[in-house]
Amino acid sequence: MILLLPSVSAQNRTESGDSVTLSLRLYNKQIYFEDSTVEMLAEIRNEGSKEFSFQLAEEHMLNLDIELKTARNRRDRIERKSPPWNDIRPILYREMTLKPGERFSFHLRLSRYYELDESGTYYLRAAFYPSMINSIIHGASYQRRSGEEFSEQQAVFSEWLPITIEPGSSSGFPQEDLQELAKSEAPILTARSMPPDEVVEYTLKARQNENWNKFFLYMDIEKIYRQTDEHDDLYRYSSQEERTRLLDEFKSLLKQEKIDNGAISLKPLDFDIIQTTYQDRKGEVLAKVRYGYPNYTETKWFRYTLERITGIWYITGYTVETRTTE
């Protein structure tokens, strides 16, 4: 049976040149709470023209690893469980071959990889190792810690999958009620890879349409907040809980257009992208933005700074260089 649920996938090429994809999706589309069981379905598919062979371990954690990060790209604040790989002896596996167009699925439970008991938005990514995790096969101790990124050793990666954990408990909510609630929720927006000028254009159009979720999608709110020395000092000497509150308040003030020099959140009348420059991880976009008022029109020239994080460009700051009125 094939379940038609939202999924994300990425395409990789094996050493033989064949194209193989890995997708990761939530097994149940529902509302998740801090005590919910999160189950996922990972699917490897042969999109190439040749057969694809791999070693399928009886313990699937030897083939599949899961990476987890917060919405602000933090990994060090997530507690990763110590995998039981050193206890898996002997290692039992069988040779598997997928013909072109064939696929194979894995049923996963997030709790085997991470202790995730705090609310918030997270991103998941799966890695599939066709030859299993080599350090385990060779007898080495493999202990990937929180904050440590995947090994690139012959792995096939999925795209990032977003999941929102709501505060509180799921007790008192039957499973079918949680799934019905999920149907009424707005779809989760997922940032995708596009050049810096398109990121700025997307953000300005979102503000024109008063879509705040899209407006904040490509913004690194923490870095924008910390542009001023006052905010930076306040943030550095605050607890994690206080930092979360500061950023939430900052976003709320942006929505209300109550930030000094906060024209970044004003609703534009129209705009033009004038210039875009970028290298591997840093970029700048110069935009001419016009704002309409009852008796005049104001034009501001914005220089946006952007950084590329895990392949996606985010707005990390801005300056207003010129103002004119008509």
For residues 300 and 270, membership in a common domain is answered with yes
Q: Confidence band (pLDDT; 50, 70, 90) for 31?
A: confident
**Residue where a domain terminates, one of 150, 184, 218:** 184
Exposure b/e, 72-96, CB count within 10 A at least 16 = b: beeeeebebeebebeeeeeeebeee
**Residue where a domain terminates, one of 184, 207, 237:** 184
More confident residue, 116 or 2: 116
For residues 219 and 120, membership in a common domain is answered with no
How many Å separate Cα 10 from the centre of its chain?
14
Q: Is residue 145 part of a domain?
A: yes
Total domain count for the chain?
Answer: 2
Q: Confidence band (pLDDT; 50, 70, 90) for 274?
A: very high
For residues 313 and 280, membership in a common domain is answered with yes
Q: Rounded to whole angstroms, how far apart are CA atoms 110 and 26? A: 10
Angle between helices 240-255 and 229-236 (to 10 degrees): 150
Q: Is residue 191 part of a domain?
A: no
For residues 167 and 289, membership in a common domain is answered with no
Q: How many CA atoms lie within 13 A of 285 on its CB side?
A: 24
For residues 211 and 309, membership in a common domain is answered with yes
Q: Confidence band (pLDDT; 50, 70, 90) for 301?
A: very high
Which helix (H) or strand (E) is 195 found in, with range?
Answer: none
For residues 51 and 72, membership in a common domain is answered with yes
CATH number at residue 279: 3.10.450.710
Give the pLDDT confidence score for residue 247 in this predicted structure.
Answer: 87
Q: Is residue 174 part of a domain?
A: yes
Q: Is residue 239 part of a domain?
A: yes
Contact 133, 152 (CB under 8 A): no
Q: Is residue 227 part of a domain?
A: yes
- Global confidence as pTM: 0.49
Q: Is residue 66 part of a domain?
A: yes
**Residue where a domain terminates, one of 184, 207, 234:** 184
Expressed in percent and rounded to 5, the helix, strand and coil fractions of the chain are 25, 35, 40
**pLDDT tens across 170-201, in order?**
665 555 555 554 444 445 567 788 999 999 99
Q: Tell me the one-letter amino acid at 219.
A: M
User: 243 phi and psi, to 5 degrees?
Assistant: -60, -45
Of the candidate ranges 70-79, 159-168, 174-183, 207-216, the one whose mean pLDDT is the lowest: 174-183
- How far is CA 12 from each of CA 64, 155, 162, 306, rounded to the nearest angstrom? 15, 9, 21, 27
Q: Confidence band (pLDDT; 50, 70, 90) for 7?
A: very low
Q: Rounded to whole angstroms, how far apart are CA atoms 177 and 191? A: 29
Most confident of 128-137, 237-246, 282-291: 282-291
Q: Is residue 175 part of a domain?
A: yes
Average model confidence (pLDDT) across the chain: 77
Of the candidate ranges 85-99, 153-167, 233-247, the one whose mean pLDDT is the lowest: 85-99
Cα–Cα nearest to 72, from 192, 177, 220, 187: 220
Residues paired with residue 23 on neighbouring β-strands, in sequence order: 9, 43
Domain that holds residue 45: 8-184
**pLDDT tens across 128-149, in order?**
988 876 544 444 333 444 444 4
Helices (H), 127-220: 134-137, 175-184, 196-208, 212-217
Give the pLDDT confidence score for residue 33 in this predicted structure.
Answer: 82
For residues 178 and 201, membership in a common domain is answered with no
For residues 207 and 295, membership in a common domain is answered with yes
Average pLDDT over residues 8-26: 63
- The tokens of 318 are what? 């801005």
Q: Is residue 153 part of a domain?
A: yes
For residues 156 and 279, membership in a common domain is answered with no
